[in-house]
Amino acid sequence: MSDPEQRRVPVTTSSEVVATYLVETYLPLEQAAEAIAGEQSTGTFTAVARETPELRERFAARVLSVEQLPPTGNADLPGSTHDASRGAGKRSARVRIAFGLDNFGPSLPNLLAAVAGNLFELRQLAGIRLLDLDLPAPFAERYPGPQYGVRGTRELLDRPDGVLLGTIVKPSIGLPPDELRLVVRELAEAGIDFIKDDELMGSPPHSPLAERVAVVTEELGKVAARTGRRPMYAFNITDDLDRMAANHDLVHAAGGTCVMVCVNLVGFSALAWLRARCVLPIHGHRAMTGVYTRAPQLGIDYVAWSKLARLAGADHLHTNGLSNKFYETDEEVLRSITAVRTPLLGGYETLPVLSSGQTPGLAPETYRRTNTTDLLVLAGGGIHGHPSGPSAGVTAMRAAWSAATSGTTLDAAAAQVPALQEALDRFGSPYAGTPGE
C-alpha cells in the first residue's frame, strides 16, 4: 500500500480471477463491495497482528468496478444491516472483484472458497449473487474439460448436422429391465439419437445398473445391426465416487457409449475426478441447480455455474428448454443455452441439452431463437405421451425439427406426417402465430 498508483490496477491479469456479483445493500455500495473483497481475502472483523500493508497489498482482493443498477424489487436477505443514520434505501449494483490466483491456485474447490464462500452470509449484503466468473489460463491447464463435446458426440452418433433428438426413459423409475428393453427397442427403431435414464434412477434393486446396462446395450446392438444406427444411451452413474467410477467402467466394458452424472449431486470436483478416469462422454444433468439460481437475491447464476461444470468435464449440459414445465422464462433459458455455447478459455465446447416439457410444437421457436442445431433436445413426456406411442413421438419430433430448419410451417409438415399432427393436437403449439411458425 505504499504507492497508491500501483494499487489501482484497472485491468484483469492472467493471474487473476474476476468475479461479477449482483450486490444489494443498504450501506454505501463501495463499502459493501469492500466487505466482500475483505472477507474473501485477507480480512477479519478486527485488525490483527502481522496483517501488514505489504501483505494486504499483495493478497487483498480488489474491487474493480461498481456499476449501480436500477432497483431490482428483490426481497431483502434476512439479517442485512440497515444503516438508519444514513436513511438511505437499498442500492443494487453489478460489482466486479479481482482475486489473485496465487491466493488459491487453479482449483475449483479453492476457487469457490474465495468467490462463493462466506460472502453469502455477510450481513452487509441484502442481496448477493455470483453472476459470472472470468477465469485465467491456468484453469485450462488443470482441467481438460469435455472429452467429446459437440463434435465428439456428433461423430459417435454419425449425425454430422441437424439437431440431436433424445428422450428420457419414462416412467422415471420403476420400469423393470424387461420392459426397459421394449422401450429402448421401440425408440431406437424409430431413429432416436439419444436416450437417458431419469436422474432419479440410480441402481435400485428392481433395476440394478448392471442389469440395465446388459439389457440396453444388447438391445441397441440388435437394433444397430438391423438399422445401422446406434443411439447413445446415457446411463445414470451418479453415486458415491468409487461406485460412480465403477459404474462408468461397467458401462464402458459392456459397450455403452455415454454416462450421465448429476453435477450438483456429486460436486464439480467429483465430476473433474471422474473426468480424469472416464473414457465415455459425460452427460451433465443439472438437478438441484434451482437451489442456486431461483432466489433472485441470492445464489449463483447459471452463467457462472455452467462454466464450472464445463471446466470439470461435462460434454453435455442441461439448460432447460423453451416453454418448460419449470419456473424459468424463455429468456432465461436462452441465456443459459448461449452461456453453454460461448467459448470458454478458447474451448470447452459443451453441447446444450434442452429438456422439460419439450414437444414438437416448440421446434420452430427454439430454432428461431437459438439459430443453431448444435442442440440435444430431449422430449420425455413429449415422446412417451404421444397418442400413438413413443415411436410416433420420435417421428413427430424429427418432422417438427426438419420443418423448423427448412422453413416449412408445422401445419404444412403435419399435413404430410400424421404423427406430427397427432402430437400438435395433443401437446399444442405454444408459439403458433409467432415468426418461427
Between residue 81 and residue 110, which ones bind its own copies under the rule CB under 8 A? Answer: 102-105, 107-110
- Of 275, 305, 280, 283, nearest to 292 by C-alpha is 305
Residue 420, exposed/middle/buried by CB under 10 A (0-12, 13-18, 19+)? buried
Q: Considering the complex, what minimum distance in angstroms separates the CB of residue 72 from its own copies?
A: 11
Q: Count residues near its own copies (CB under 8 A).
A: 104
Sign of CA dihedral 199, 395, 420, 153: positive
Q: Binding of its own copies at residue 249 (CB under 8 A)?
A: no
Q: Which stretch binds its own copies (CB under 8 A): 111-119, 152-160, 213-221, 222-230?
A: 111-119
Q: Binding of its own copies at residue 142 (CB under 8 A)?
A: yes
Residues 361-420 that bind its own copies (CB under 8 A): 380-382, 384-385, 389-390
Q: Binding of its own copies at residue 14 (CB under 8 A)?
A: no
Q: Binding of its own copies at residue 137 (CB under 8 A)?
A: no
Interface characters, 163-182, with its own copies (x: CB under 8 A): -----x-xxxxxx---x---
- Of 332, 290, 289, 340, nearest to 314 by C-alpha is 340
Closer of 41 and 370 to its own copies (Cβ)? 41
Q: Binding of its own copies at residue 184 (CB under 8 A)?
A: no
Asked whether the beta carbons of 243 and 208 are under 8 A apart, the reply is no
Q: Considering the complex, what minimum distance in angstroms separates the CB of residue 55 from its own copies?
A: 4
Asked whether the beta carbons of 98 and 118 are under 8 A apart, the reply is no
Q: Binding of its own copies at residue 202 (CB under 8 A)?
A: yes
Closer of 157 and 308 to its own copies (Cβ)? 308
Q: Considering the complex, what minimum distance in angstroms separates the CB of residue 24 from its own copies?
A: 12
DSSP state of 397: H
Sign of CA dihedral 289, 291, 295, 299: negative
Q: Binding of its own copies at residue 5 (CB under 8 A)?
A: no
Q: Binding of its own copies at residue 72 (CB under 8 A)?
A: no
The only residue of 140, 295, 334, 432 in contact with its own copies, by rule CB under 8 A: 295
Which amino acid belongs to residue 161? D
Q: Which stretch binds its own copies (CB under 8 A): 23-31, 36-44, 83-91, 133-141?
A: 36-44
The only residue of 140, 210, 265, 432 in contact with its own copies, by rule CB under 8 A: 265
Closer of 341 and 386 to its own copies (Cβ)? 386
Asked whether the beta carbons of 288 and 301 are under 8 A apart, the reply is no
The only residue of 21, 148, 194, 292 in contact with its own copies, by rule CB under 8 A: 292
Closer of 238 and 421 to its own copies (Cβ)? 238
Asked whether the beta carbons of 60 and 42 are under 8 A apart, the reply is yes
Q: Considering the complex, what minimum distance in angstroms separates the CB of residue 426 from its own copies?
A: 8
Interface characters, 207-246, with its own copies (x: CB under 8 A): -------------------------------xxxxxxx--
> Across the beta sheet with 127-134, what order do the strands follow?
62-69, 91-100, 16-25, 127-134, 298-300
Residues 308-347 that bind its own copies (CB under 8 A): 320, 325-329
**C-alpha pair distances (Å), 296 with each of 29, 124, 198, 299, 353:** 19, 17, 28, 8, 23
Place of cell 475449483: 108
Q: Considering the complex, what minimum distance in angstroms separates the CB of residue 189 from its own copies?
A: 15
Residues 42-71 that bind its own copies (CB under 8 A): 42-51, 55-56, 58-59
Report the C-alpha gap between 283 and 327 in whole angstroms. Answer: 22
Q: Binding of its own copies at residue 267 (CB under 8 A)?
A: yes
Asked whether the beta carbons of 245 and 277 are under 8 A apart, the reply is yes
Q: Considering the complex, what minimum distance in angstroms separates the CB of residue 108 from its own copies?
A: 7
Q: Considering the complex, what minimum distance in angstroms separates the CB of residue 178 from its own copies?
A: 11
Asked whether the beta carbons of 167 and 383 are under 8 A apart, the reply is yes
Closer of 118 and 416 to its own copies (Cβ)? 118
- Of 391, 390, 371, nearest to 435 by C-alpha is 371
- Of 321, 313, 252, 326, nearest to 284 by C-alpha is 313
**C-alpha pair distances (Å), 194 with each of 197, 319, 337:** 10, 16, 19
Q: Considering the complex, what minimum distance in angstroms separates the CB of residue 380 from its own copies?
A: 5
Q: Binding of its own copies at residue 254 (CB under 8 A)?
A: no
Q: Which stretch binds its own copies (CB under 8 A): 39-47, 62-70, 158-166, 407-415?
A: 39-47
DSSP state of 119: G
Residue 248 sits at φ, ψ, to 5 deg, of -60, -45
Q: Binding of its own copies at residue 266 (CB under 8 A)?
A: yes
